[in-house]
Amino acid sequence: MQSFIHIDSPYYLKTENIDSPADWREIFGNDNPLALEIGCGIGDFIVKTAQDRPDINFIAIDYYNKGCFKTCRRIERHGVTNVRVVRVEAREFIAEKLTRGSLAAVYINCPDPWPKKRHRKRRLVNRQFVELLREYLAPGGEFNFATDFADYGIDVAGMLPGVEGMENRLAPDLYRHEVDGYHLSKYMLKFLAEGHKIYFMQYRKA
């Protein structure tokens, strides 16, 4: 069992200290558009993306304490000020801390693929979850999904065109293995170096 790491960072928010719903303008000190990364890992993707887009406020959530700790350390090391980190389950966070139509973008990179058939119902990204996210995206808001697991990628790619109110930004392709300007995490780079492929999907709320 992993020991719990105390996180003492100005960029880390405890859920019990966040209003429901949260006043993100007050938290960030500005009214820039808001984006969410679900499953920030060690923070390499979100730090690079936030550096590219200082005009956007990023919330990085993860269920694992160690990942949140490493993400905060990386944020501080790179001097990034437009990211806040929360340790929380995704559905709970969305329902309690966000308002509908408030997100300019959502990023989900390489979530747990639950590879065994009997476990696949546990996968985060399915039609019901994307329909939930759609309600929290602003008009024109982006949904970005990437997975290193072929079965997961093909499954989601086949499901997404049936989600009403979402437009495929990569059309006519259902997915691509490379997307210009999309940062790759260390995990993705390791997987690519082993000769595997990443499945990228990008949609926009109509």
DSSP letter at 142 equals E
Alpha carbons 199 and 47: distance in angstroms, whole number: 21
> Catalytic: which of 112, 155, 173, 180?
112
Summarize the chain as % helix, strand, coil (round to 5): 35, 25, 40
Residue 81 φ then ψ, to 5°: -115, -5
| Other C-beta atoms lying within 10 Å of the C-beta of residue 163 | 17
CB of 136 closer than 8 Å to CB of 102: yes
Structure-block tokens of residue 175:
């997915």
User: Is 8 considered catalytic here?
Assistant: no
CB of 125 closer than 8 Å to CB of 157: no
Among all residues, which ones are annotated catalytic?
112
